[in-house]
Structure 1
Amino acid sequence: MITVDGREMKCQGSGDVSLELRDGTRVKVEAIMVDDRPLGFDFVLGMNAILALGGVAVDDRLQVRFGAESAGVCASNTASVRLDEQDFTATFDHGTRVWTVAWKWSDGKGPAVLNNRVKEYPPSGWARPLYEKELEKWIQNGWLIPYDVRRHGPVKGLIPMMAVIQRSKGKVRPVMDFRELNTHIEAYTANADVCANRLREWRRQGANVSIIDLQDAYLQLRVDQSLWPYQTVEVKGHRYCLTRLGFGLNVAPLVMKTVLAFVLSQEPSVKAGTSAYVDDILVNEDVVGVDRVRQVLERYGLQCKAHERVADGARVLGLAVWGENGVLRWKRCNEIGDVPRKLTRRAVFALCGELVGHFPVCGWLRVAAAFAKRKINAATKSWDDPVESVAIRSFLEEIIQRVKEEDPARGAWNVSGDKARLWVDASSLALGVMLEVDGSVVEDAAWLRPDDAQHINMAELDAVIRGLNLALLWRMRRIEIMTDSSTVYRWISDGLSGKSRLRTKAAGEMLIRRRVSTVLSLVKEYALQLTVHLVRSDANRADTLTRVPQKIMKILPDPQEHACAVVVDEDVRRLITDVHHETGHPGVRRTLHFVRRLRPSVTRRMVRQMVKDCQVCQAIDPAPVMWKRGNLEVGKVWQRLGVDITHCGSKPYLTIIDCGPSRFAIWRPLRFQTSVDVVEQLENVFYERGAPEEVLLDNDTAFRSRTFTDFAARWGTRVRYRCAHAPSGNGIAERCHRSVKVIAARKNCSIPEAVYLYNVAPRDDRTASSTPADDVYRYTVRIRGIDQLTEEVQPEETPYSVGDKVWVKPPGARCISIYRKGTVTGVLSDQAVEVDGTPRHVRDLRRRAPSSGAPDERPTNGAGGCDTTVWFPTQHSTQTTTPCDTPTEVESARPMDVNSARRRSTRRRRPRAFGCCDS
């Protein structure tokens, strides 16, 4: 290249350079790079650059001016901005004024390809045109560009498209389903904004505020080209890739927050006068002007919509805010829909979320919506189960009707100062707190109590603690607690003043002391000025938060109606009893049908109570009952053994199965099915492997003998007998019997070989480490005389208690069998009790009135059709709880060799007793 003075300069290359005037005008021109400074200057502008800048002017003082505003030119050489976070990076190029984002993969390299093959979730018919129109806009703006495999490489992911309907704005927006992609991106959300906290901050900014909303906020941020293959979509059969940040990506809100926080922090006045939540910016015009904030945003490539003054009416974080008499007020900005035609748990939860949402004040609506969700939870088992309850539908319709007439979601917007009044209350249904500042309720909250709720005084204390937490979120320091509980008033007042110690004799005394200490700790930690006032219940403003309005509540049936006893008139009682007996003791519905033919005023509740109390129905073929399911498995190997006797052919075997994780089995042949042989085999096993804490047995005579009882006591092992006539009580052993016998039959092998194959077979069908033989040697052997038994945990709630009179199902009972009388003598577990010394399952028992003789009762009138009927009483044999092989005094005095006996059993043979005969 030849310069004007005739010298030659060697060109090193060419490139593009951005030139920017002071007014922000920026142009890009081509530049030639050389080794030395041309003519001693840093750069030389040619005519192309001068024309691009809008011309040049030189005044009499040799001042150079470019462009229409004659601004001085300067080279735009500002370094790029890079924001490096744990889960993404964001880079800003000053030359192009463009933000570029790249997320970070969880494993550092990302998946080779995504598995999704779904192209689109089809929108509804009426939304389809608006949805496709929005997609055309995306293509025209370059947000979606045709995917070029030669330029970007092979496609690595297909993102499904769907339409999201924004009813509040009347728009249909295309949204992508990033769920699969999000599994490969780890988002760090510890510092993410919370809408409720940001709302509290904005309400403290005063009345002179404006709201700025970014235009297509996410779509202003570009995604790095290396990630485009993971953001491909199909539109009308053509493959496109999304070049911008997509809504639904798990890191998108964090990217937007970080970028906005950086831009707004570039000037101290802008940082002090603004607060952002995602793409919404609240500007305090008492600190900084809106125009200045817009200039800062545009300088960093962020385009905004026209700002809105909140006092003139604006939408702020989903609330409609406007100015009234110099103050700001808010209300709900969306219209309330109707009750869905198809009631499901998902639909009801969505409706309740629309009713309550994130509104600071909801009054009675908050607890009513929570109660509706509890009711729908109780009526369904899954999210999409339909519900045909007329009561629940009427309950929801009444709530919506009242909201449309008088919506409680409204109130004052402005909050200032650090003084507040805290109203607290509790009822059997819910806890409620209400925060009042300058006579206006700024926020309320309610929490449903569980059905097995604690004492009301404890609930009142919980309400105080929750209310203090709410007040601290508002940065309140001078707080008045208003309660209608004299007990809570005395506890907290005495705690604050130190006048006297806490006086209570309640069962939860330590829990009460802990809660009062929590209140005092909050006062000390946050330097609160706390006072407590006692008010009447009708003057407590938080009372509405703890109960559903009576007009709405009466639509639902009384939840306690089934728990209360029915008071039946004596004449009605006698009528129902006679009709029930004469018609053959039918069920509730048939008895009600026959009774109402004689007296139509009789209610179903009366008949249900009488049928429930009928002792004849409880003693003969009673209705099935529900019981709490148990589990025979224990967590340790060799902690509990299932022991049983089974036969293979004609040969008896003693089977021992570990009820722990191993399921290791030991089968030993028996010469005879006697206590002596059983004890001999078990003792050999215990000497080899140690004694367990517990053995689970059936009621075979070999296990019920004194010999076996002495053996168990000698080894310090607890004996647990399964319920009579309930083989599932030793189900682990029964299943092992079947498995071993099937192996022996199919392979035609011996029992020892079948047991060996059972012990080496993997329980998960895959890994060798899951075999019973692999697990059985990982336990600690209990040492006799040293290791003590762990204390057995007694069941807290059982269906029967000691001394209860019951009807007992006889063995092999049929529908006409009469249940026997019995008395509960011990409680074994939630499923088993001891009746007259014999373990029985609760499903085989029914409650018996103390003086009932129902099976022997017969009608006293002569309407039966037979003139003479002879009834023979039945004598029931009672079994003693003493083992049958208990030695007599003479026998017990003589030493006994357990190996010398060859009898099958030492049980005494007794003749069968017959109640009566007809000869």
Structure 2
Amino acid sequence: YHTHLRKLAMTCNFMDIDRKIKSQIVQTCLSAKLRRRALGDPGITLTQLIEIGKAMEVSEAQASSIEREQHIINKMLRGKKGDNRQYHKACAQQYKQQPNKNTSNTKCRNCGGNFPHAGGKTACLAFGKECHNCKKANHFAACCRSKLYSITNKQQIKHRTRVNEIHTDNGLTSSDEDAYIYTVRLHQLNATASQKQPHFDIKINGQPLTVMADSGASINVIDEVDYANLNQQPKLLQTDVQVYPYRSQKLLPVLGKFHTTIESTTKVRNETFYAVEGVGGSLLSWKTSQGLDLIKVVQQVTQDNPVEPFVETLLHDYDDLFHRLGKLKHFQTKTVQPVAQPHHRIPFHIRKELEKQLECDKNLEVIEKTEGPAPWVSPVVVIPKPKSPGKVHVCVDVHQANKTRTSYTTTINEIINDLNGAKVFSKLDLNQGYSLLAPESQHITTFSMHVGLRRYKHLNFSISCAAEIFQNAIRETLSGLKGALNINDDILVYGMSTEDHNTNLQAVLQRLREKGLTLHKQKCVFNKSNLKFFGYVFTENGITVNPKKIQAIHDLETPTNATEVRSLLGMINFCCRFIPQYATLTQPLRELTKEWSAKHEEALTKLQETLLCPPVLAYFDSDRETEILVDASPVGLTAILAQKDQDTQLQHIIAFASRALTPIEQCYLQTEREALAVVWACEHFHICVCGTPFLVYTDHKPLVAIYGNPKSKPPARIERWSLLLQPYNVTVVYREGKSNHADYMSRHPAKGTRLTSHEEMIAEEFVNYVVLHTVPVALMLEDIKSATSSDPTLQAWQEINPTAFKSFERVKTELTLGADGGFILRGNKLVLQKQAVELAHEGHQGVVKKKVWFPGIDKMVEEKVQSCHTCQIVTPETKHESLMMSVLPNSPWKEVSINFADLPNGEYLLVISDDYSQYPVVDIIKSTSTQTVIPRIDKIFSEFGTPEIVKSDNGPPFHSREFKLFAKELGFHHRITPYWPRANGKVEQFMKTIK
């Protein structure tokens, strides 16, 4: 190999041929032992490396010659290291029995003495003796070959059963051994379990090849025999990849890699193969096998109703919860006037079933017979069960006895927030757990039937407030328990892990036992990674819609009347949080007043298609940053609640929301609609965003200045809506429409039919208030509307004609259009024609007191007032005293000015500004008291020096006795300026810069 390398090197212009040859030998030699030796000694020369290699070749050849003479080589043993002692002992004993070619004497196989015997076969000491090992004649137990074979055979049988380790009886670590290990591993397994191995026929560059799909392999491997048999052998490329067999730290000798096209019966892929020495067969990695559809990765194998051993133990310990009727707390009604309703006749065919049901309820102590007069009597209503022929559902018409009772009910948003991070779920179904009635309240449930009067001892479903009472009773029962919540008679138990879930489940079962409640075992579900609850499917990753509800909506027939359309919208509205642009998609259905058309059919189809692939909504996490994406169109508003994962920076959608605009809101300007979307979204997601900073993204850039600048002058409606945002710590951020996920609806305008809204009512009340108090006394609102409608400029502006309202461009974000289009407001001023100035000035109100506006009004009113003889006579002339300018100092830090500035967190800024250089020194203080201010000023003066003159206003810390003593002690003159910003102008100007 060295000679071939040197011949090839002669054709190259290498500066150091020996160094290059040495590098090639190290990289491409077949002996891993030689490679490690060379890499372990960087100073080794090429000559030394060749000598070492030759020595290794000779030793390998001699060792192989010796090994071929042995009967037992390279046995595979299983177990601990101590298990190999008997094997090595047997090998050594057998080796002693073999004839030694280097000596003239040979050992006898039967007695162990010299052979041949002088007296022949009968002279052998073992002749006629019985072996204690195999019980056969003519040999000793020490020379018994059955003993040795039994040892090795047992080890081979063990190995074939399960291969844990591979042992050899020599200590070689060369590349030959690596290939042997790889070969023995594959062929030993194939020889014992060839029928179970996943072998497949594929094609490499069109040539058939049998490979084994190995789900534990990360690369594709082809042995040198299969590679040599390829008709079109791909060129091998060098690679630095190190390949290890399973559970081994020894490298496989890699010849190189090549890229090729492989195909199965169904798929074609481009993959990389690594060629290795040996004849161990070819392997496909799990990824390639899966890509060729040869194997399938099963993520989860579940039983129909799997029960964890711990849960099964719990069910056994709490078996009493599944075999009786539950009883909870008493319920009493005392304020309803007694009423006796007329009796309803019971059909004859169902009387027998009714009597059976009543007898069963009597045995369960649900009802009892009434004795004596009954002030309360309600008729019984019997309904046959359609899915259970021969059975009836018994109800009581107690509409006179019902009294509505409002109570707190858990919402889906609260459930989503509580389940954040949950991974294991269980659902418990209460078994007829309605409360036991107090004796003084039982007579209210008295009902009449053909066999007499009966009354309930338990709270029955006919009581209208029964569900609310039961919901609150169960909620109070579970109060204080971790990982448990309920909606009506369904209890959801969850945990962040299996152990956490099991602990919570045990606590809930114990509480139910203490409270006397029982469960319906057949309806309970335990230890699930995903659970259907309250119409949704809760999983570790988030929440989605129950597939049964989606299928029911998809299979709906086309509505035939308005009532069916409303029923359809009510059903779909349950899934609206999963439907982006829900208001836009349902708009054609909401406006339906005539016959069903293709437009309505298309809207229904889009809704069904959207629900077929609903998104998985993430759980709300109060520790993550929250964002709302909003957008508005001429017909509706939409919002998306999202949160960003701090680790992956991925945005997870929590919920979708949308609503249609009312007819009045559709007349709003686009800026007002976009502003309305921000307010509505914040209020809609109030439970998720109130109390924490959050961002609202909009594609309408003016909103950033309107909501972000407290000094902005928004239109009247937006000014009113701004008050609704005060409870929120919200920051409005601009995002282009193409990057805004909520922008789709604004690009699909349509008409809406919503009647009114909370935001519209607030805005219109404020606008009407401004108009009523803005109309000048000399004008009438009807005259203003008439003049506005006849003004071509104002009409063109309403129609958004860009060539006609250039004069309005500067104040476009301050304008408000009336709901009926009859007037326009700029802030709290009416926009009028120029002719209104003559009429408005008849009262000679001057320049300041004006309630109307139009482009150029300031200059026109000022000219009008100045040209008015009456105004000039009665208007007092205002004269300002001339300022006395201070003389500037001639050096730095000779004269300084002091002032304070407020901070939002309640602290203050102490600012000392040099009058000569205008260099400021700023310090943060907790208070403006003398005790706080004087030490800080003293510290600054000790650093920069004491000035000659210190100017300040007449604030509390500066007119105190302590400050006078401080000035006297340091020797500076304290000048107090008037309480007027211009008197201390330089430092006041710097305050604007700070703020």
Q: Which interval holds the TM-score relative to the shorter structure?
A: 0.3 to 0.5
Greater radius of gyration (CA): 2
TM norm structure 2: 0.37
Structure 1 or 2: more helix by fraction: 2
